[in-house]
Structure 1
Amino acid sequence: MMTRGFDTMLSATIERSSRALAAAVLAALGVILSGCGSDPDTKTTDAPLAECTGGVLEADLEADALTGPGVDPETGKLRPPPEGSSYTVSATYGVRRQGDAVMERHLQIFGAIQAQLASQPGLLAIQLGYSPSCGSGRTLAVWASTDAMYDFVMSPAHLAGIDAADELLEPTYVVTHWETAETDGITLPDSVRRIQAFGDPAR
């Protein structure tokens, strides 16, 4: 498992990849906001940023269903991996910084990322969540393999967003990934538990 801010011994290459994957939070946030028609700079409460962390599931989290080619359309459940293999699951959490300039920059960078996610090879399923009170976005993605995940992370469209993560996200953003063959446990609450178990960097 790899989580931003939890291991000071991570190599520069791994840290760079972590920041790249973290930027996907902004893509998810853009999708959610455009879908619900919310004002991106308006929160429903004045919840302090310190109370909005990756390791605590937001009470008002609004989440789409897990969707993608790996989901059985009849049952709505993720198909199990081939026998003897496992999936790689990635989870991100982030709060977009406020301001029109940030939103404009977000739209410039992550439109291409959103389009790429729609047809990314190896991406089996994705779930997006948004908390109006915290202004936070979460992603949960299921990949055929770790290599498939990094193919997306290091792709040209996504590389364009690597260096913008710190500019566009509050410093509490979190990235983690793990491998599992147990599809029933691939949920947003489980991703929150994993972030919490390894120490939320906002705490």
Structure 2
Amino acid sequence: MPFRTRNRSIGVSQGQFAAALLSLLGTIVSGCSSDFDAQTPDDPTSVCASGALEADLEAGPATGPGVDPETGEILPPPAGSVYTVSSTYGVRRAGDAVAERHGQMFEAIEAQLASQPGLVALQLAFSPSCGAGRTLAVWASTEQMYDFVLSPPHAAAMNVVDELVEPGYGVTHWEASTTDEMTFAEGARRLAANVAATR
């Protein structure tokens, strides 16, 4: 059964949406660093890794005020400005306890995102072969992105992310002036660079 956000179906099942949203919970502020990889970096040679875009990645539609309602495409920032784009990758840990814990946070995170100032667009994706979720979020500014990161529902999730998500999850963010830079492929490329930099 498709999961419905407050706006429209995102085209993936509730479980797949949960996996993608759980990867968003990996958006952790780590000191002054803008990017974070799990304590155990993933294997860059694996087909199921943060820096390797899955061949069977199923992306739901982009939603948000910065999405063209006719085409479903994310709109570019106004001329002369940039958006902040964040991308995450994660695989939910197995088990009923994890699913129950996630359920406790799921609705609060979704409600926060639905009314979060500065969120331009959000797109979720899921890889059936890897069981991995990815997110792509476009923000009006880096400051507004961090307002979400530090919001109570997200802060609560940050405290338990290692209990919910397998090692190898990752998050990155960057500034983009064109829509070509606002893709899952660009997120995977940047996550791969993060992993390479830690080796």
For residues 60-87 of structure 1, the C-alpha deviation after alignment (integer angstroms, 9 at most, x for no partner) is: 1111122210011123222222222100
Asked whether the 8 Å contact 2:109–2:153 carries over to 1, the reply is yes
Q: Does 1:79 align with 2:81?
A: no
Tell me the matched-pair count. 163
Match of 2:106 among 110, 128, 136: 110
Question: Please, which moves more after superposition, 76-85 or 182-191?
Answer: 76-85
The residue correspondences of 1:23-42 to structure 2 (distance < 5 A) are 32-34=12-14
> Given the superposition, is the C-alpha separation of residues 32 and 101 from structure 1 closer, same or farther in structure 2, using an over 3 Å criterion?
farther
Q: What is the alpha-carbon distance in structure 1 between the residues aligned to residue 16 and residue 131 of structure 2?
A: 13
User: Where does 1:87-126 land on structure 2 (aligned, <5 Å)?
Assistant: 87-126=83-122
CA contact (8 A) 1:60 1:132 kept: yes
CA contact (8 A) 1:53 1:200 kept: no
Question: What is the percent sequence identity of the aligned residues?
Answer: 61
Structure 1 pair 163/32, CA: closer, same or farther in 2 (3 Å)? farther
What residue in structure 2 maps to residue 157 of structure 1?
153
Output aligned runs, 1:13-24, within 5 Å. Answer: none
Q: Structure 2: how far apart are the matches of 1:111 and 1:36?
A: 15
Ranges of 4+ aligned residues in structure 1 off by more than 3 Å? 35-38, 200-203
What pairs with 1:135-154 in structure 2 (closer than 5 Å)? 135-154=131-150
**What does residue 178 of structure 2 align with?**
182
Identify the structure with the greater helix proportion. Answer: 1
Any conservation in 1 of the 2:51–2:192 contact (CA below 8 Å)?
Answer: yes
TM-score (norm 1): 0.73
Question: What CA RMSD, in Å, does the superposition of the two structures yield over aligned residues?
Answer: 2.5
Q: TM-score of the superposition, structure 2-length normalised?
A: 0.74
